[in-house]
Amino acid sequence: MLGAIVGDVIGSVHEGAGTKTKEFDLLVPRSTFTDDSVLTVAVADWILDAKDLVELLHSYTRDYPGRGYGGMFYTWVRSKARKPYGSFGNGSAMRVSPVGFAFDTLEDVLRWSEQSAAVTHNHPEGIRGAQATAAAIYCARRGQSKEQIRFTLEERFGYDLHTRLDDIRPTYDFDETCQGTVPQAIVAFLESTSFEDALRNAVSLGGDADTLACITGGIAEAYYGGVPQKLTGPVRTLLDKRLLSVVDRFRERFHLGARDA
């Protein structure tokens, strides 16, 4: 899950910028965490302590205002609603990475990722995007090759994961839907040569940069065995004690901390 947060932070300054290159500074003074990280931590909290996910999403959003929450989601929080609102936005996929790391069978990963999405994003595409992201993480941490991961996701979720980034990039634009974000983020991982390269791929598409890199970052962390310390150190300084406490408890519970290099 820390890979997702690192991706979010790196992508944050490219949000809406239309970046179409892989040549950029990974972290700059304006880099910060967005709603992607806040809600990822909320999902981790839910898994750790079996709390009410709706209440967690409400409370984290209220406690970390101004982090770029989607309009429908923020209205849902402000109204203190408990019922989902049929969204197929990419918010369900951006927050799901803890599920992919926490469970030992694909069936559990799919069930928990559906639950994590359906409290807000109960549209089939919203659920599909969350499940595909979590499944990619699960497959990666189980040691599957990229071709195996590609095959599994295409067969189960029907995404086209064979289109190359060089073919996607020229016409790709800002897209907040799961179906317009998740496949592209997965391809960014599939074409990568390292964790860092995966995030550069995701940002270079010029779309919803923080969410693309967040989704890609979670998968890349699982596949490459951790997150480079040169990135985790600076990113951790941006998080407050509450967020860090959940991150560290999650990483300890699921034996993720020793994998960074």
Check which CATH number belongs to the domain holding 102 and give it. Answer: 1.10.4080.10
**Is the pLDDT at 261 greater than 80, yes or no?**
no
Q: What percent of the chain has pLDDT over 70?
A: 98
**Is the pLDDT at 259 greater than 70, yes or no?**
no
Residue-averaged pLDDT of the chain: 97
In a domain, 215, yes or no: yes
Structural domain of residue 64, as residue ranges?
A: 2-256
**Is the pLDDT at 99 greater than 60, yes or no?**
yes
Q: What mean pLDDT do residues 1-26 have?
A: 97
In a domain, 39, yes or no: yes
What's the pLDDT at 12? 98
**Tally of domains in the chain:** 1
Residue 250 to residue 261: CA distance in whole angstroms? 18
What's the pLDDT at 260? 60
For residue range 46-74, list pLDDT tens digits in order. 999 999 999 999 999 999 999 999 999 99
What's the pLDDT at 256? 85
Give burial (CB, 10 Å; 0-12/13-18/19+) of 198: buried
**Is the pLDDT at 255 greater than 90, yes or no?**
no
pLDDT band at 174 (very low <50, low <70, confident <90, very high): very high
In a domain, 29, yes or no: yes
In a domain, 132, yes or no: yes
In a domain, 261, yes or no: no
In a domain, 244, yes or no: yes
**Is the pLDDT at 258 greater than 60, yes or no?**
no
